[in-house]
Structure 1
Amino acid sequence: MDAQTPSTKTPVGRLEDCGAYRRLVIERDLDHGATDVWEALTRPDELQAWIGTWWGTPGAGQTVMFQMTAEGESTEPVEALVEECLPVESLRVTFASDRVVWRVGVELAPQGSARTHLRFVMRVHDDEVVSDIGPGWEYYLDRLAAALAGEAMPAWEDYYPAQCAYYGALEPIEVHEPFVPAAHGPGPEHLPGEPGSRRTA
């Protein structure tokens, strides 16, 4: 698939202007309860099914190591500071390596007992990179949905470079809701999703 070939996936992300910085926002409606989605985001084994894994001492205010495992080849682990961890509600993490710092957040809103609205947010320092990172996060969020459903993973070619033009052409939308993490959430004894922490929906 080349850049002119239409994608079979429809990109839905938007770029928001918060004044001092901008943020990429991508949302999904998932046919799974919030607890199941939360565990897919936080349990190392379930996380590995769609993006990567982590190890260390978890909890709000803690730094763990994260390694991407879905790229088809080994990648170097990076430090991940858990800025906020509110069980089955929100998770905000800052990833830092010697090359880049990524500040991302995920918020979950239950839609009844069997559906969840997911809002992914990433702080953007350079608009030019949106055309690259937008398709990538669309891809990984669809991998999350596929992992939850036990379905085959989507094809990378349906996202990159197929969605680059969409993201490269995004015009920022002015908003008045800055993406500033709250004080560390009520740090649980372990990150929700670790063995022994399963909650009922």
Structure 2
Amino acid sequence: MIDILEHIAAIQRQVSQTGEEVRVTLRRSYQAEVEDVWDALTDPDRIRRWMMPITGELKVGGSFQLEGNAGGEILECEPPKRFKVSFGGPASLVEISLSQDGDSTELQMDHSVPADFGGASGALYVGPGWDGALLGLALYVEGKLEEHHDPQEMANSPEVIEFNTASIHAWVKALRDSGLVSEEELRAATEASAAQFAPGSSADDYL
């Protein structure tokens, strides 16, 4: 069983805009050494255990493709501290930073896109998905996934749909706290997020 409230609370979420760039930021801690978290994030055989299969030349200048999802270019890499990739297009950038804090590893993820990609409300299109990825990583590095665990099967389980529902609530709050969107924009983005991540729910369930 997943402690949904614990995992939702474990993630700090922020939406910000600087000039023409919108940034979605997630932070959470993992009870694992930084080298182990780094390896889980960069070893294809381990990535498929908690996220999905990945192919490509995983080095700076190379490219990657997540099965049934986005691909991109590997732009920067400093093991075991940080890497930066394009994700789904050259203007969509994801950076992961890791640091050791005692017995735990602190992870920060920044996903930035041009503001004209849809503005800050786009956080509701990507935020719940990233929450799910950070959940899968936590369960994996903390040894809570079975050997033959199928991440795709888990993603469609009632338990994860419940997690997604709580995640949408959390991102609605983060967007409201940012002050960057109108209620009309928030409603439209929430409706789209609900359809994608929690089918059967609607914006009225979150607003």
Task: Specify the alignment match of 1:186 in structure 2.
Answer: none
1:131–1:168: 8 Å Cα contact kept in structure 2?
A: yes
In structure 1, how many angstroms separate the alpha carbons of the residues matched to 2:38 and 2:50? 13
Mapping of residues 186-197 of structure 1, within 5 Å: none
Give, in whole Å, the separation in 2 of the partners of 1:79 and 1:132.
Answer: 17
In the alignment, the residues of structure 2 paired with residue 43 and residue 53 of structure 1 have an alpha-carbon distance, to the nearest angstrom, of 11
For 2:25 and 2:65, locate their aligned partners in 1 and report how far apart those are by CA, in whole Å: 25
Alpha-carbon distance change, 12 to 137 in structure 1, aligned in 2, over 3 angstroms: same
The aligned residue for residue 90 of structure 1 is 82
- Tell me, in whole angstroms, the C-alpha distance in 2 between the residues paired with 1:28 and 1:136: 15
Question: Number of aligned pairs?
Answer: 157
CA-to-partner distance for each residue in 1:103-137, whole Å, 9 max, x for gaps? Answer: 2110001113x321100111143322322322221
**SS across alignment from 1:60:** coil
Shift of 1:101: 6.3
Counterpart Cα distance in 1 of 2:179 and 2:111? 15
- One-letter identity of the residue aligned with 1:104: V
- Deviations 1:71-119 (Å, cap 9, x if unpaired)? xxxx26x43200111110101111236xx9642110001113x321100
The structure whose residues are more often helix, as a share, is: 2
1:52 alignment partner, SS class: coil
**Which blocks of at least 5 consecutive residues in structure 1 are unaligned?**
1-6, 68-74, 175-201
Conservation of the 8 A alpha-carbon contact between 2:131 and 2:167: no
1:166 to 156, 161, 170: 170
Q: Supply the distance in 1 between the matched residues of 2:133 and 2:65 (Cα, whole angstroms).
A: 19
Partner of 1:26: helix, strand, or coil? strand
Q: Greater CA deviation, 19-28 or 37-46?
A: 19-28
Letter in 2 for 1:80: G
5+ residue gaps, structure 2: 146-153, 181-207
SS in structure 2 of the partner of residue 49 of structure 1: helix
For residues 55 and 94 of structure 1, the distance between their equivalents in structure 2, rounded to whole angstroms, comes to 15
TM-score by length of structure 1 reads: 0.68
Contact 2:95 2:109 in 1 (8 A): yes
Distance 1:32 1:173, change over 3 A: farther
Task: State whether residues 82 and 93 of structure 1, in contact with CA within 8 Å, keep that contact through their aligned partners in structure 2.
Answer: yes
Q: Is the 8 A contact 1:33 1:115 kept in 2?
A: yes
Task: Give % identity.
Answer: 23
What value does the CA root-mean-square deviation take over the aligned residues? 2.6
1:151 to partner: Cα distance: 0.8
Moved over 6 A (4+): none
The match for 1:136 is 129
